[in-house]
Chains A and B, each alone.
Chain A
Amino acid sequence: MSNNRLPPPYGLRLQRQKPISFTFDGKRFTGYSGDTIASALAANNQWLLSRSFKYHRPRGVLTMAGQDANTLVQLPSNPNALADVEKICPDLKVSCQNVSGSLQRDRLSWLGYLSRFLPVAFYYKAFFRPKGVWELWARLIRKQAGLGRIDESLKPGYYDKEHCFYDVMVIGGGPAGLSAALTAADAGAKVLLVDENTELGGSLNYTEFPLDGLTLTVQRQQLMDKVNAHAAIEVKTDAVCNGWFADNWLAVITEQRLFKVRAKQVIMAMGSFEQAAVFRNNDLPGIMMSSAALRLIHLYAVRPGQKAVVLCGNWDGYSCALALTSAGVKVQALLDLRERPDAGHPFLEKVEALGISVRFQYQVRQAVASRTGNHLAAVEVCELDSGNGRPATASVLACDLLVMAVGYTPAYQLACQAGGHLSYDDSTAAFVIENLPENCFIAGSMNAVWGLDNVIADGGLAAGRALKALGQVAEPRLASVDEKCQSPNFAWPIFPHSRGKEFVDFDEDLQVEDIVNAVNDGYEHVQLVKRYSTAGMGPSQGRHSALALARLVAVTRGISVSETGVTTARPPFSAELLAHSAGRVFYPAKRSNMHYRHIELGAQMMQAGVWYRPAFYGLKRDRDRLIQAEVSNVRTNVGIIDVSTLGGIEVRGTDAAEFLNRMYTFGFIKQPVGKARYALQINEAGVVIDDGVACRLERDHFYVTATTGGVDGVARSMLKWNAQWRLSVDIANVTSAYCAINIAGPNARRVLEDLCQDVDIGAEHFPYMAVRQGTIAGISVRLIRVGFVGELGYELHAPQQYGEALWDILMKAGEAYGIAPFGVEAQRLLRLEKGHIIVGQDTDAMTHPLEINMGWAVSKVKPFYVGIRSLQELEKAGLKRVLAGFLIKDRQAPAPLESHLVIDKGEMIGRVTSCHYSATLKAIIGLAYVPPQRGHPGEAISIKVEGGVLVNAEIVQLPFYDPDNLRQGL
């Protein structure tokens, strides 16, 4: 280990008995278990971590809290990992990103010299002239854009989600959060305490509060012990609350799980983000927040430098100077931006007692880089208010560390997502969060309360308010907050320099001049400045730029910061993986009871909506031949198909017939019991939305079938309409309650004859479109004579769990007749040969019954059915298109596909909806929409197929097969 590593008890997070080796840019380093990449590198004196986005400037540790873009590095499977929070693990391979050449010598660092030619929003004003040049620029810019590399070979991990429910959720495990959680839990609330860090404690783990009541260690331990022992508090550490959504729905992300938390009350105690001072070269590695230096020392046992200068505008700088000294860092000077206090201050006395030179009303004029340009070597300091010219009092202090303690911004993101308003208090020079919604509270420094005792008391106060909102009768006794505690924010820690490079936004390399110019370009509102300059739009989302941005806009516009306002905060709070949002991916699937029989028979399964259905039986390579064979077997013998996916709806009640009469276009009042009738459904616009058959089982009982994909919508529409009509009917979607098998072909009756003893299935007693109820081998079945495939056929509907047994019985009985299963593909061809449409394939969102030759299915005498008025108007308007059958005699012609266009003189006049080669007809047949005048048999049409080839086809009379319907009526 290098001499940057401090001895115990420094290093709260380290397990020194577990050294870990890893590489950074190919060079091997060693750290301890518990180290982050950045802390382990810093311990080894590797401070340079990345290059900035625009000017490729060297960047290092800034916050040590995962709140800035300086530490973005590439991991093998994860770009843009934050090196200051990402823990090392054995043999981890870390590399830098956004670098041309090497991290030490980035070839693109010369871009910084061109900064005066790359003013704010230059990309809006360049690259588009002369015409066509953008294409060239785009390639170059695309190459430079983005950070990191995605591992395209990555196998997705197992990510999951979980719902949680609590009375009170406390976000932030610092002193305020711990206090709030304890107060709420002591009062009986079920509490969730969430913290993004590995351990609870927040600032107690690294900040020194030497002037507060109890000693830090005692205070911290007392709170932690109580929280950990409390049965009503659930603690989640390493957990980021990434978003607040309506009604206190909060997203909490852990390593591989997204928790969806519902909390009756939310207390946000997320602390504050320390802010950077703005001066020339303030981004050099070696310059960091005072909190970052303290984290390095206390959490990771890393000495942040050898010789330090402290720039401060509050007493936290003094505290940090003391901690640095204790850690063996030589503090060269403490520059206090404030005036020397009239009375002595304990911090001042302590610091001066250590011999540290304190200079009041002093600023850093600029930071000076080392010879390599990659680290801080010195700071040039001067008296405050000495202007931009070189002041007479300027002096240079050699140092490799500059810590900044000039103020804070509350962690406002979640509170603002919840509807809170961020306003600026000119008297304290700080943002404050106001107008929080009901059931949401803030506490601690996030609530602009400072000082350890105050913060703890404020946590209790917030919990008290939450408990009251929960209906607690008596509020718990609470300590009061000392309102006099001073704000730690210095009002103007911004020191423009004539040569620029005083960075306001590190993510986007935005300097003071950029913000001023944005306002001067006319983008005065802070929201416009943000979008024009991209301030706050980088990975750190304005955590360290929002305050300085508001101040600069205010000064440039000549208004107060409170009048300037701030930009909007939206989820997520921090970067999250898409995998967290996706979680486990669910693929709901439905299988009929006969599913595995199809598999055993070698079916190629396809998904029809959520259902698995057999497409055809046999090997994929024989697909076309197998489909034609299945068709042939149905036409000449007998086939069997699982149609369990067919929708089924029971309509029962004294008004059942009247109800169907209104829902469907046909008449159902006089439908005899024991008969099925085609049922065509249109919507209020007259558009065809579903079809099926309505079987009248009893006088007041219909069993209505619907399409696989449409049944849920049909059932919903039935419920909707009857909510208005109030007819005496019960509507039940029983699709899954019944399996269904269609046995079709000239031998279908023979197969059933021996099986069905209690139903006379002879042609005379069981004619086409008749319905019977009976049993097959003891299984109750509803038998419907239908002809979808154009042959003698029976649909057998039986309770779902009997499906496999029924299939077996039919297959066995059919053996003597050469029964064979057929799949969806054969069924589609069979129905096409018969000219039957499939709603959704041969219809679209405009199709009305008259276009598809379904006038016969529309009652002319009914006074009402859904859609009647629209259909009457459509009829009056005349047909614009018709669905016609076409035939291609040329067997060598390429077969059109669905949606291929019908072309006439170069213009589109229609489209194909179904098309297939029919071995039965020895031709390619299909259905297509064409203009009415082109839909007469004998008309020639041209269809543009793949490759732009025009294929000639002839309109023919439908159906293609068995025009006299003799076969289905056998």
Chain B
Amino acid sequence: MSELPVVQDPGSLPRRSPLYRLHLATGASFRQVEDNAVPYLMASLPGDTATARQLGLVDLCGLTKTGVKGPGAPAWLQQKRFQLPAEPNLAVLQPNGVLVARLSFDEFLILGDLKGQSSAFFDPEDIRLLDSAPQAYLLPRGDSHCWLGVVGAQASKMLVKLCAIDLGSEQFPDFVIAQTIIADISVIVIRHDLGLTPCFYLLADIASTEYLWEVLLDAMLEFVGGGVGLAALHTLLEQEPVSAM
């Protein structure tokens, strides 16, 4: 079981995913990550996990994420002992489950681990030093982008209805990134398989979260996919551990 604390009403926390009302309406249960909440179970764990194996959509907006940008960003991040992808549009999984995605030569997106344990990427002193670091800037990615996960064997088959990129495992293997358009909006797609189960992270303008969620659910209908909670992802991780972890 997750060590994350249970939260009954995400609306009681100061930080709120754009989707928390939708999840509440469908009877989801939540766990707290920092001052936000993530939908932990949409139905039952076996139900969510079975859905996730085929095609699930999960709201990860409550997990932490940030960004660092600027010509000095690679050096600064390496100083902080982050392993960086060698080139843009690749991601590297850190030993603690944090994912570092390189969006360009000098722009990085950092996604917290799915367990919700890596709440703070940098301590306050780091941030203070960042202000004086040569040409390295923190980006408010925690709030600028939503973070959704499309998981399951049918994930790439569903996504090609909305996206012109070949997301098959041959052309788009684990840890590859595409900065593309999905359903007419800009989306960063990062492949991060959960063991043997394909998983794509979608990061889009946070104000478009509800739109993107609904479009994805609609596209998933023919695959009998649906929303799942974070617990299903934990189960997939535990049952089919990722080799890098």
Nearest CB on B from A36, distance (A)? 27
Looking at B16-24, B85-93, B229-237, the stretch in contact with chain A turns out to be B16-24
A164–B163 alpha-carbon span in the complex (Å) = 10
Closest residue of chain A to B11, judged by CB? Answer: A804
* Interface pair A588/B183, CB less than 8 Å apart: yes
Q: Check if A710 is an interface residue, CB within 8 A of chain B.
A: no
* Interface pair B140/A737, CB less than 8 Å apart: yes
Instruction: Name the B residues within 8 Å of A625 (CB-CB).
Output: none
Instruction: Name the B residues within 8 Å of A161 (CB-CB).
Output: 161
Q: A162-B161, A164-B160, A730-B69 are in contact. Are A586 and B18 (CB under 8 A)?
A: no
Total chain A interface residues with beta-carbon distance under 8 A: 42
A587–B207 alpha-carbon span in the complex (Å) = 14
Instruction: Name the B residues within 8 Å of A592 (CB-CB).
Output: 207
* Interface pair A736/B143, CB less than 8 Å apart: yes
* Interface pair A590/B15, CB less than 8 Å apart: no
Q: A730-B70, A737-B140, A738-B140 are in contact. Are A160 and B161 (CB under 8 A)?
A: yes
* Interface pair B168/A590, CB less than 8 Å apart: no
Q: A596-B21, A728-B135 are in contact. Are A260 and B183 (CB under 8 A)?
A: no
* Interface pair B205/A778, CB less than 8 Å apart: no
Q: A590-B205, A799-B142 are in contact. Are A165 and B215 (CB under 8 A)?
A: no
A779–B35 alpha-carbon span in the complex (Å) = 11
Instruction: Name the B residues within 8 Å of A596 (CB-CB).
Output: 21
A650–B140 alpha-carbon span in the complex (Å) = 10
8 Å CB interface, B141-160 against A: 141-145, 160
Q: A590-B211, A801-B143 are in contact. Are A736 and B137 (CB under 8 A)?
A: no
Closest residue of chain B to A654, judged by CB? Answer: B135
Q: A588-B185, A736-B206 are in contact. Are A779 and B16 (CB under 8 A)?
A: no
A611–B168 alpha-carbon span in the complex (Å) = 34
Q: Check if A732 is an interface residue, CB within 8 A of chain B.
A: yes
8 Å CB interface, B163-205 against A: 163-166, 168, 171, 183-185, 205
* Interface pair A732/B160, CB less than 8 Å apart: no
* Interface pair A653/B135, CB less than 8 Å apart: yes
Q: Check if A197 is an interface residue, CB within 8 A of chain B.
A: no
* Interface 1/0 per residue, B1-20 and A, CB below 8 Å: 00000000001011111100
Q: Check if B139 is an interface residue, CB within 8 A of chain A.
A: yes
Q: A589-B208, A592-B207, A779-B14 are in contact. Are A799 and B140 (CB under 8 A)?
A: yes
A730–B15 alpha-carbon span in the complex (Å) = 28
Instruction: Name the A residues within 8 Å of B185 (CB-CB).
Output: 588
Q: Check if B36 is an interface residue, CB within 8 A of chain A.
A: yes
Partner pick for B135 among A650, A730, A736, CB 8 A cutoff = A730
Instruction: Name the B residues within 8 Å of A801 (CB-CB).
Output: 15-18, 36, 61, 142-143, 206
Closest residue of chain A to B209, judged by CB? Answer: A591
* Interface pair A732/B139, CB less than 8 Å apart: yes
* Interface pair B16/A591, CB less than 8 Å apart: no
Q: A728-B135, A737-B143, A777-B14 are in contact. Are A163 and B206 (CB under 8 A)?
A: no
8 Å CB interface, A627-686 against B: 644, 650, 652-653
* Interface pair A591/B144, CB less than 8 Å apart: no
8 Å CB interface, A589-612 against B: 589-593, 595-596, 610-611
Partner pick for A611 among B70, B135, B142, B207, CB 8 A cutoff = B207
Instruction: Name the A residues within 8 Å of B215 (CB-CB).
Output: 586
* Interface pair B69/A732, CB less than 8 Å apart: yes
* Interface pair A800/B160, CB less than 8 Å apart: no
A568–B206 alpha-carbon span in the complex (Å) = 48
Q: Check if B126 is an interface residue, CB within 8 A of chain A.
A: no
* Interface pair B18/A591, CB less than 8 Å apart: yes
* Interface pair A800/B166, CB less than 8 Å apart: no
Q: Check if A555 is an interface residue, CB within 8 A of chain B.
A: no
A849–B67 alpha-carbon span in the complex (Å) = 38
* Interface pair A802/B139, CB less than 8 Å apart: no
Q: Check if A394 is an interface residue, CB within 8 A of chain B.
A: no
* Interface pair A799/B183, CB less than 8 Å apart: no
Total A-B Cβ pairs within 8 A: 108
Nearest CB on B from A969, distance (A)? 31
Q: Check if B238 is an interface residue, CB within 8 A of chain A.
A: no
A802–B16 alpha-carbon span in the complex (Å) = 6
Q: Check if A501 is an interface residue, CB within 8 A of chain B.
A: no
Nearest CB on A from B221, distance (A)? 9
Nearest CB on A from B86, distance (A)? 23
Q: Check if B210 is an interface residue, CB within 8 A of chain A.
A: yes
Nearest CB on A from B1, distance (A)? 26
Instruction: Name the A residues within 8 Å of B137 (CB-CB).
Output: 650, 652-653, 730, 732
Q: Check if A537 is an interface residue, CB within 8 A of chain B.
A: no
Q: Check if A805 is an interface residue, CB within 8 A of chain B.
A: yes
Q: Check if B240 is an interface residue, CB within 8 A of chain A.
A: no
Most buried by B among A161, A730, A799: A730
Closest residue of chain B to A733, judged by CB? Answer: B144
* Interface pair A589/B17, CB less than 8 Å apart: no
Instruction: Name the A residues within 8 Å of B183 (CB-CB).
Output: 586, 588
Q: Check if A734 is an interface residue, CB within 8 A of chain B.
A: yes
Instruction: Name the A residues within 8 Å of B165 (CB-CB).
Output: 163
Instruction: Name the A residues within 8 Å of B210 (CB-CB).
Output: 589, 591
Partner pick for B211 among A589, A650, A778, CB 8 A cutoff = A589
Q: Check if A544 is an interface residue, CB within 8 A of chain B.
A: no
Instruction: Name the B residues within 8 Å of A730 (CB-CB).
Output: 69-70, 135, 137
* Interface pair B16/A804, CB less than 8 Å apart: yes
Q: Check if A620 is an interface residue, CB within 8 A of chain B.
A: no
Instruction: Name the B residues within 8 Å of A588 (CB-CB).
Output: 183-185, 208, 211
Q: Check if A570 is an interface residue, CB within 8 A of chain B.
A: no
Instruction: Name the A residues within 8 Å of B166 (CB-CB).
Output: 163, 165, 262
* Interface pair B18/A163, CB less than 8 Å apart: no
A586–B218 alpha-carbon span in the complex (Å) = 11
* Interface pair B160/A591, CB less than 8 Å apart: no
A728–B134 alpha-carbon span in the complex (Å) = 10
Q: Check if A584 is an interface residue, CB within 8 A of chain B.
A: yes
* Interface pair A799/B21, CB less than 8 Å apart: no
Instruction: Name the A residues within 8 Å of B16 (CB-CB).
Output: 593, 801-802, 804-805
Closest residue of chain B to A800, judged by CB? Answer: B143
Partner pick for B208 among A584, A590, A652, A777, CB 8 A cutoff = A590
Partner pick for B206 among A586, A778, A800, CB 8 A cutoff = A800
Instruction: Name the B residues within 8 Å of A734 (CB-CB).
Output: 139-140, 144
Nearest CB on B from A711, distance (A)? 12
A826–B143 alpha-carbon span in the complex (Å) = 29
Closest residue of chain B to A698, judged by CB? Answer: B131
Instruction: Name the A residues within 8 Å of B139 (CB-CB).
Output: 732, 734
Instruction: Name the A residues within 8 Å of B135 (CB-CB).
Output: 653, 728, 730
A917–B163 alpha-carbon span in the complex (Å) = 48
Instruction: Name the B residues within 8 Å of A262 (CB-CB).
Output: 166
Nearest CB on B from A430, distance (A)? 39
Q: A163-B160, A732-B139, A737-B140 are in contact. Are A800 and B69 (CB under 8 A)?
A: no
8 Å CB interface, B62-81 against A: 69-70
* Interface pair A590/B14, CB less than 8 Å apart: no
Nearest CB on A from B133, distance (A)? 11
Instruction: Name the B residues within 8 Å of A802 (CB-CB).
Output: 14-16
Instruction: Name the A residues within 8 Å of B131 (CB-CB).
Output: 698
Nearest CB on B from A248, distance (A)? 13
A593–B207 alpha-carbon span in the complex (Å) = 7
A800–B209 alpha-carbon span in the complex (Å) = 12
Closest residue of chain B to A165, judged by CB? Answer: B166
Partner pick for B207 among A165, A260, A799, A800, CB 8 A cutoff = A800
Closest 5 CB pairs of A and B: A737-B144, A590-B207, A737-B140, A165-B166, A800-B143
6 inter-chain pairs at a CB distance below 8 angstroms, sorted by A residue, are A163-B161, A698-B131, A728-B135, A736-B205, A777-B14, A805-B16
- Given A736-B144, A779-B14, 17 other A-B contacts at CB below 8 A? A163-B163, A584-B219, A588-B185, A588-B208, A590-B207, A590-B208, A591-B18, A591-B207, A591-B209, A644-B207, A650-B137, A653-B135, A800-B206, A800-B207, A801-B16, A801-B36, A804-B16
Task: Give residues in B with beta carbon < 8 Å to A.
Answer: 11, 13-18, 21, 36, 61, 69-70, 131, 135, 137, 139-145, 160-161, 163-166, 168, 171, 183-185, 205-211, 215, 218-219
